[in-house]
Amino acid sequence: MPFKFNASRRGRFAKAKYRVTNWAEYNEALRLRGDVSVWFDEDADSGWCAMRSGKRGGQQRYSDLAIEMCLTLRVVFGLPLRQTQGFVRSLLQLMELDLPVPDYSTLCRRAQTLLIVSDIRTAGGPITLIVDSTGLRVHSGRDRMREKHGLPKARRTWRKLHIGFDPESGEFVASRLTTEHAGDPGALPALLAEVAGPVHRFIADGAYDGTPTAATIRQAFGEDVELIIPPPKNAVPGECAARNAHVEMIAKGGRMAWQKATGYGQRSRGEAQIGRYKQVIGSELRSRKMEPQTTETRIAVKTLNRMTRFGRATYERVA
């Protein structure tokens, strides 16, 4: 990336300055993020209770909509499950709705099998897909016990969140949570399967370089998709003509010229979205098991997309 290339002499360059041109609309969008009425639909009373399945045995009391709405409030406001139950109960009382409230154990149990329906909205045509991944910590809850009673230090585990980002709409178009043992190329087929629309350009870092990865991408989006993946320093020409062109371009003009010519700098917008996820949602997973953790990240991604639709800041460079 450019900031790494010029790291040794960064102090000699003047930092670019930008100005937000739609402060009024953007301020209102930021206010809407904390508006409870936005996250709790008044028409939810009609679909709050689950329909009878027609099968023998116990029936579910709450619909998937009710569980997802409660878990969304938990993600937006950073609440534990018990406080989420109390928060939803107070909202129903203020709205004068006589509806039952899922208890915290029901929310925890239903989160393991909850199906989150994505509401991704793209521009309609082929998009530029930026793929990246990051690590999320798993909350253990035993740090104080280890410090106070001298318990053996447990090995900290973490999860890996893979995201697909559309820079035109500013939304996540795919997300996938895996264990820390899964590599980026290994999680790519399942991630690409979630992308609904066509893709004409694929941008990713050097971890996705390789013939099998290129074949996976072309199988998902067609042979005409443009792959912008930086080859390593010791790369040699191979069977892929597009990759050979990148290797030759870097050998002739340098890596910085290649980045400018191919538009690889847009990948920084994917990294910015990962920073946004950790700033708004957090860098730690609240759930303990893999299934509810997957539900938690899917709800978080869906929440960030909804925040984006409230309004985005537009910038212009002033210096």
Question: How do residues 235-290 score in pLDDT, each as one tens digit?
Answer: 888 888 888 899 999 999 988 899 999 999 999 999 999 999 999 999 999 898 99
141: left (phi > 0), else alpha (psi -120 to 50), else beta? left
Residue 305 C-beta-side C-alpha neighbours within 13 Å: 24
Lowest mean pLDDT among 14-18, 67-71, 126-130: 14-18
Q: Is the pTM of this model over 0.75?
A: yes
pLDDT average, residue stretch 171-179: 94
Q: Please give the pLDDT value at position 176.
A: 95
CA 152, 156, 162: angle at the middle one, nearest 5?
A: 170
Lowest mean pLDDT among 8-12, 128-132, 244-248: 8-12
112-115 long-range Cβ contacts below 8 angstroms, 24+ apart: 112/289, 112/291, 112/292, 112/295, 113/291, 114/64, 114/67, 114/68, 114/71, 114/295, 115/64
- Sign of the four-CA dihedral 283, 288, 290, 296: negative
58: left (phi > 0), else alpha (psi -120 to 50), else beta? beta
Q: Please give the pLDDT value at position 46.
A: 84
Instruction: Report in angstroms the alpha-carbon separations of 262 from 185, 217, 229, 258.
Output: 22, 18, 10, 6
- Reported as a pLDDT band with limits 50, 70 and 90, residue 155 is low
Closest CA to 42 of 83, 84, 97: 97
Contact between 264 and 203 under an 8 Å Cβ cutoff? The reply is yes
Q: Map residue 6 onto helix, strand or coil.
A: coil
